[in-house]
């Protein structure tokens, strides 16, 4: 037994004691989204992902480059201090690791990197000192070799890049 309350737009069900809106689905039917509505939502999410993922990858690469540049600059400053305190012969690139105050974030490797000089690795870079202070890009634990960053006070090069350098470097 139901009575209509026109003022509120609800149907009163006296047996159950609940008020239901007039547009409520009939008993046994559930309200749901249509297939078109779901496809539109999936399409919008796909478009957003297509735009966001490349931008995210560029941002991650910029952060990796910033890590390398920061460590190269720290190595450079340590070499400058060493030269001022001990002279160029004691702090040349060949003697950099022994005589500078630079502490790498990871231990120096026992083997030589690229068969030239002692080095240390971070997750994304291999750093070593030869004629310049170098950072070589690594991917999945292997040297990528797509580009190399270096710095040198001797030649007055503040930061340079060789290879497939990202445009975000601004070099």
Tell me, yes or no, whether 163 lies in a domain: yes
Q: What whole-number distance in Å separates Cα of residue 145 and Cα of residue 136? A: 7
Question: Whole-angstrom distance between the N-terminal and C-terminal Cα of the chain?
Answer: 82
Question: What is the distance between the alpha carbons of residues 120 and 67, in angstroms, rounded to a whole number?
Answer: 14
- The total number of structural domains in the chain stands at 1
55, part of any domain: no
Under a CB-based contact definition with an 8 Å cutoff, are residues 133 and 70 in contact? no
pLDDT at residue 51, rounded to an integer: 93
Distance CA 47, CA 2 (A): 49
Q: Judge whether 156 lies within some domain.
A: yes
Q: Is residue 16 part of a domain?
A: no
Spatial neighbors of 93 by CB under 8 A, at least 6 apart, are 117, 129, 130, 131, 132, 133
Q: What pLDDT was estimated at residue 29?
A: 64
Residue 153 belongs to domain spanning: 61-169
Q: To which residue do tokens 């001022």 refer?
A: 84
Let me know if residue 50 belongs to a domain.
no
- CA–CA dist 44, 52 (Å, integer): 12
The answer to whether residue 109 sits within a structural domain is yes
Tokens of 139: 């991917």
Give yes or no for a contact between 141 and 40, defined as CB atoms under 8 angstroms apart.
no
pLDDT value at residue 85: 85
What is the phi/psi pair of residue 113, to 5°? -90, 135
**Model pLDDT, residue 153:** 59
Q: Is the whole model's pTM more than 0.95, yes or no? A: no
Greatest Cα pair distance in the chain: 103
- 15 is a domain residue: no
Q: What is the full per-residue pLDDT of the chain (171 aa) written as tens digits? A: 455 555 555 554 555 555 556 666 666 666 788 999 999 999 999 999 999 999 998 898 888 888 888 888 888 888 888 888 887 777 776 677 777 777 877 777 756 565 556 678 888 888 877 767 778 887 777 777 777 787 765 555 667 777 777 776 665
Classify residue 69: in a domain, yes or no.
yes
Q: What residue ranges in 62-141 does DSSP mark as E strands?
A: 119-121, 125-129, 133-139
């Amino acid at each position: 037994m139901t009575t209509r309350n026109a003022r509120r737009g609800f149907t009163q069900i006296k047996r159950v004691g609940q008020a239901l809106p007039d547009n409520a689905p009939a008993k046994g039917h559930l309200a749901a989204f249509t297939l078109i509505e779901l496809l539109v939502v999936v399409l919008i999410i796909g478009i957003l992902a297509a735009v966001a993922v490349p931008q995210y990858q560029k941002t991650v690469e910029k952060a990796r480059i910033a890590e390398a540049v920061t460590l190269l600059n720290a190595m450079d400053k340590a070499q400058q201090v060493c030269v001022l305190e001990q002279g160029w012969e004691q702090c040349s690139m060949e003697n950099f690791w022994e005589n500078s105050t630079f502490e790498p974030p990871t231990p120096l490797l026992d083997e030589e990197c690229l068969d030239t000089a002692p080095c240390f690795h971070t997750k994304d870079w291999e750093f070593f000192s030869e004629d310049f202070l170098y950072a070589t890009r690594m991917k999945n634990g292997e040297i990528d070799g797509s580009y190399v960053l270096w710095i040198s006070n001797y030649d007055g090069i503040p930061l340079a890049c060789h290879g497939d350098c990202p445009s975000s470097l601004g070099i």
